[in-house]
Structure 1
Amino acid sequence: MKIILKLAKPEKLIVFGTISYFVVVFVIFLLAAIVPPNAPLTHWTTFIFLLVLVIPLVAALLAPRAYMFNEDSLRILRVIGSISIPYNRIVTISNQENVCLDREFGNGGLFAYYGVFRDEDGRRVRVYATTFKRMVRIETTDGKIFYLSPAEPEKFVEALRQRLEKLKTLSRR
Structure 2
Amino acid sequence: MRYELPVGRSVKVLTLFAVLVPIAVFCWLWISGIERIAVYIALPLIMVFGIAYAFSPKEVLLEDGGVVIKKVVGRVFIPYSSIKDVSYVEELSRRTIRLFGSGGLFGWYGIFRVPDIGVVRIYARRTKGLVLIKADRNYLIAPEDPQIFIEELKSRIRV
What TM-score do you get using the length of structure 2 for normalisation? 0.88
Q: In structure 1, what residue type is equivalent to 2:8?
A: A
Corresponding residue for residue 109 of structure 1: 104
Corresponding residue for residue 23 of structure 2: 23
**Taking structure 1 as reference, are residues 93 and 122 closer, same or farther at Cα in structure 2, changes over 3 Å only?**
closer
Q: In structure 1, what residue type is equivalent to 2:129?
A: R
| 1: CA distance, partners of 2:29 / 2:79 | 47
Runs of 4+ in 1 over 3 A off after TM superposition: 28-32
Provide the secondary structure at the position in 2 that maps to 1:80: coil
Corresponding residue for residue 163 of structure 1: 156
Corresponding residue for residue 79 of structure 1: 72
- Note the 1:1-173 alignment, pairs <5 A: 1-31=1-31, 35=33, 41=36, 46-100=39-93, 101-121=96-116, 123-140=118-135, 142=136, 144-165=137-158
Return the structure number with greater strand share: 2
| Identical pairs, percent | 28
Query: Larger Rg: 1 or 2?
Result: 1
How much does 1:130 deviate?
1.3
* Maintained 8 Å contact 2:6/2:126: no
Unaligned runs of 5+ in 2: none
Cα offsets for 1:113-156 (capped at 9, x unmatched): 0000001147211000112221100111x3x1000001211001
**Taking structure 1 as reference, are residues 96 and 85 closer, same or farther at Cα in structure 2, changes over 3 Å only?**
same
CA root-mean-square deviation: 2.0
* Maintained 8 Å contact 2:130/2:143: yes
| 2: CA distance, partners of 1:2 / 1:57 | 25
How much does 1:29 deviate?
4.5
State the aligned residue count: 157
Provide the secondary structure at the position in 2 that maps to 1:21: helix
Q: In structure 1, what residue type is equivalent to 2:156?
A: R
Q: In structure 2, what residue type is equivalent to 1:158?
A: E
Provide the secondary structure at the position in 1 that maps to 2:121: strand
| 1: CA distance, partners of 2:104 / 2:120 | 16
How much does 1:157 deviate?
0.3
Q: In structure 2, what residue type is equivalent to 1:48?
A: I
* Maintained 8 Å contact 1:29/1:49: no
